[in-house]
Structure 1
Amino acid sequence: MSNTFSQHLADEAQTVAMGARLCKYIKDGAVLFLHGDLGAGKTTLSRGIVQGMGHKGKVKSPTYTLVEPYELNEVSIYHFDLYRLGDPEELEYMGIRDYFSPEAICIVEWPEKGRGFIPNPDLNVEMAYDGQHRNITVSATSERGQQIIKQLGQDA
């Protein structure tokens, strides 16, 4: 069984669609670490996940607030953007551990800035430039993550 899933994303619409596809398999909770350069599509993918779970409003990057919560009927989603985090210890003051319940979906952009204060992910998601397009690689880092990858592969 493969522990990775990769796909070429031609445009923003395909990136959003990939997030909506992914949300089908993380609806029971997961921790996702999103990696990639600025503008690589991390927030766009997050928008697809959040809207795919039923959110009807805008999905913005929580660059200045650090976390944007989405309390939906069947799931709580917490979208973190740690890009501007000065010191990972700041996460303790905001009660970071309270967000990471087993049934919550936690999407973390720039997770390396919170090292030591956030739990290990179920999935590492790498977003990379390919000219004007993007490539996404999703890697499992837990048993839960492996189940998600398996389902993604079967859905391809």
Structure 2
Amino acid sequence: MKKQYLTVSPSQTKKLGETLAREILKTKPKKIAQILGLEGDLGGGKTTFLQGFARGLGIKQKILSPTFVIMKRFKVESLRFEGFYHVDCYRLKKPKEILDLGFKEIISNPQNIVVVEWADKIKKILPKNSLILKFKFVNKNSRKIWLMKRRS
């Protein structure tokens, strides 16, 4: 599975995130958390996408990258999910640092949705079949975004 999207404004990038979140809310439960890894350059649209994604989950709080705290949890008002974890790996020096925050326990709970910014920094820790979104600058407002499953 590989899909490509082109967004031409921050609001379109948010809308794509919102749409994907609503689709995930309709999916059947899995044995582990629903995991999305976001990859791309600094300022590439990851947090903008995530703001729309959180809105699609019904989260009202403002979403900012948890760069300094690394992880934030939000409650999801859904029959399928309880917690939404926003993880930012930008400041990690080693992938194993994420494990000190209980990451394995969080991703083992099928009632969690976990979105990881800078997922390429912990790619060996992410389970197979995690969804990966790659963001690429086209110009000031436009982004190409690829959605695929992690295979290895």
When normalised by structure 2's length, the TM-score is 0.84
Q: Summarize the Cα distance change of 1:120–1:62 in structure 2 as closer, same or farther, 3 Å threshold.
A: farther
Of 59, 62, 78, 2:85 maps to: 78
Paired residue for 2:30?
none
Once the two structures are superposed, residues 55-84 of structure 1 have per-residue CA deviations (whole angstroms, 9 ceiling, x without a partner) of: 112001011111111112222111111010
Once the two structures are superposed, residues 71-128 of structure 1 have per-residue CA deviations (whole angstroms, 9 ceiling, x without a partner) of: 1222211111101012222222211112112231111111222244343352110111
Q: Summarize the Cα distance change of 1:121–1:45 in structure 2 as closer, same or farther, 3 Å threshold.
A: farther
Paired residue for 2:144?
135
Listed as ranges, the gaps of 5+ residues in structure 2 are 28-32
- Aligned-residue RMSD, C-alpha: 1.7
CA contact (8 A) 1:127 1:134 kept: yes
Shift, 1:40, TM fit = 0.5
CA contact (8 A) 1:96 1:118 kept: no
Q: Specify the SS of the correspondent of 1:19.
A: helix
Paired residue for 1:51?
55
Moved over 6 A (4+): none
Shift, 1:46, TM fit = 0.9
Larger deviation, residues 56-65 vs 82-91: 82-91
Shift, 1:6, TM fit = 1.2
Q: Specify the SS of the correspondent of 2:90.
A: coil
Number of residue pairs the alignment of both structures matches = 140
Q: Using the aligned pairs only, state the percent identity.
A: 30
Does residue 37 of structure 1 match 2:41? yes
Pairs within 5 Å for 1:1-156: 3-27=1-25, 28=27, 30-74=34-78, 75=81, 76-100=83-107, 101-132=109-140, 133-141=142-150
Paired with 1:62 and 1:121, the residues of 2 have a C-alpha distance of 25
Q: Specify the SS of the correspondent of 1:68.
A: strand
When normalised by structure 1's length, the TM-score is 0.82
Once the two structures are superposed, residues 26-74 of structure 1 have per-residue CA deviations (whole angstroms, 9 ceiling, x without a partner) of: 1255211111000000011111111111111200101111111111222
